[in-house]
Structure 1
């Protein structure tokens, strides 16, 4: 397949950059993150794990599957049918949609430690909501956090007190422009599996800590009872423990990854992993903590729209019935082993990481890893794949699709090895520039 900067999607994106600041609404979807000037940028339709661009070209998505939001695959028939039924019945009304109660019951059934649920529309928004509830419940200000948790003021305020606070927590170089300077010192970072760093922060700020916010798992599994020690410390101190399950939720089991890891929080936040592409998030928490949501002000018209509730209920039903978490892990094992085998055959050094349903790799050589990533994306696009250096598995993938993908990727790895051996740089083989690092947690 030939690729060109003059495709309809490429032309439309150049127009978008003139009238939409940043070009897109999501950093992780910017074409510069993948293949500058050549990335298709826009889709006309998507089904299963296939995408058609504006020129009608067909691709297989072996990258992020809607940035992790389409666990069942694109345009799942059952989920979309439930959404269409909700539309036909009226997506918005002066009265409330009963599905929000049914979904709350389902989420509490999956998480018996919980007793209350509130909703929002986006993951970062839900994390802001959870942080507000924790501060309202404790009447304290400081939040200790580990990992990435969105774009809102409470989170970006970490870079007010220390401009490098977020650099090694997946997003380097963020300027907290527009964040009130008075929030400096209210959000303090610690690192995953570094329990001594956590203890030091708890001791230093013990009288004013409202919450500890952490992704229970991202790339590495907890070591030396890391999560259990945090749970013990927060319980002893009366601090709200919030698990950000926006990415990991509904990957390792039906519900949160904490169910597999054996540690229950006070609040867990769910989003794209449970909705199969529909905009809905859930803040699930213990009854006494969630009661604070009634004492503070959290209210929005579109938190009540019906369509996403109906779609999410059906998505969870399909997820459980087909035991999708088992397929996600099975495919992840094939992918991670395949990457290592291909690199070994080609004579390349590779670093493979991530939990099985959300795997990623980095080729290590004489050139910047982003150069290798860009070359892989460029060459795989020519072969009909939306690919990068990450693979989020879905129910729409299959062992056959993955094995064909690995076969093509093996040819690209061999070409990289040939270039390395000939003294020709991989960068010289890029048709345009090197992709941007941007959102480090996806690399």
Structure 2
């Protein structure tokens, strides 16, 4: 075992679940073989604890670094902040500048609040929206973090959230009296949402603008009209989708304005900062509740976000990562056609993914990760694109991926996939670790 694998074994004994983020567990990629930890990252290259380098054609910090790891301008701004001082009894002026910038990008919004993680931003938005609506019940569509309010959807049926990214989540530790406060609905099922609202006293609709498919039959416009007609606060969770296809929220692409929206992940290019923006009449409700945290006032997050937005705007990064994602998607399809394999594409172009239409799809994903790791790639069945994924990087990736697709074709024709796999199959959802 390498240093990273040995350290992961130690971690599982002293950290419940091994680490702080399910999506970074080695078991989600390649159990017992994934390098697990990094010593350095730059551009789209990652160094493990043994000094081996990998090209990251995987999830790029879970989509945090659209400008690549260690962007020189963003890092320089952060380093200056460290030198000048990150914390003080006084407030950081950059949080005002950042609020003004986000409101400028979203003219429908009047106010902003900041936090440091997506889960926090989601909890902030729900607290404010419930205070503004005066109602407890929430309709949700998509993944919105780990807090009690969200997991309470699984109190009545632990499969309620199975179709919202993470199957297998158990609501242990969530107070039972939160049951029947959060109701999932399916994307593009307007009739289902309307029936849900007619049956329950819903005060808030929270949803991702897009996850794996775009809106059909004016779905988003219908949701907006329904929320307006019923006096419901409409929240768009753009923690993942923000700044991927537009300079701001993905809702700008579809011409639908929410009452609140949250941004995270790409906002600080790897530094912790999230934003909740909204209409004044909704956001002012924050002052009727208590929403406050010491490290929401640190300076690095706002500084990183301001510089990230500056670089994004100058380079029009959302356009390049979208085009690269479309090129990667076309490359996967070209390989699938070459080897007569059926695949299904998922996600935004800049967060592109695919799966094999086969009972062995999870084993094939594991095989890709296993074989590509040996060739110096962090890779699976998804690529979260950054501006450092150049044409030459993508071309070399597909040159190395081609023979793996050939192996999968052989498996579809009778070769044993189990004989090709060196270790266990990767996980696909939440599982307790031994």
Range into which the TM-score falls when normalised by the shorter chain = over 0.9
Q: Which runs of 5+ in 2 are unaligned?
A: none
Q: How does 1:274-423 map to 2 (within 5 A)?
A: 274-365=267-358, 367-421=359-413, 423=414
Q: How does 1:9-408 map to 2 (within 5 A)?
A: 9-205=4-200, 208-365=201-358, 367-408=359-400
Could you tell me how far 1:329 is from its partner in structure 2?
1.2
Distance 1:427 1:220 in 2: 32
3-state SS of 2:19 partner: coil
TM-score by length of structure 1 reads: 0.96
Contact 1:122 1:271 in 2 (8 A): yes
Say what the alpha-carbon RMSD is for the aligned residues: 1.0
Could you tell me how far 1:59 is from its partner in structure 2?
0.4
Could you tell me how far 1:274 is from its partner in structure 2?
1.3
Instruction: Give aligned pairs, total.
Output: 431
Deviations 1:326-357 (A, max 9, x none): 11111011111110110111121211222110
Could you tell me how far 1:417 is from its partner in structure 2?
1.2
Distance 2:195 2:362 in 1: 36
Distance 1:379 1:201 in 2: 46
3-state SS of 2:13 partner: helix
The answer for the alignment partner of 1:3 in structure 2 is none
Q: Which runs of 5+ in 1 are unaligned?
A: 1-5
Distance 1:89 1:25 in 2: 30
Could you tell me how far 1:128 is from its partner in structure 2?
0.8
Contact 1:147 1:170 in 2 (8 A): yes
Deviations 1:41-73 (A, max 9, x none): 000000000000000001000010100000100
TM-score by length of structure 2 reads: 0.98
Distance 1:175 1:439 in 2: 9
Distance 1:341 1:350 in 2: 11
Contact 1:170 1:439 in 2 (8 A): no
Q: Could you say if the C-alpha distance between residues 332 and 64 of structure 1 is closer, same or farther in structure 2, counting changes exceeding 3 Å?
A: same
Distance 1:211 1:42 in 2: 40
Distance 1:303 1:329 in 2: 31
Could you tell me how far 1:439 is from its partner in structure 2?
5.8
Deviations 1:244-280 (A, max 9, x none): 0011001011100001111000000000121101111
Distance 2:169 2:369 in 1: 26
Residues 1:437 and 2:428 aligned together: yes
Distance 2:132 2:347 in 1: 34
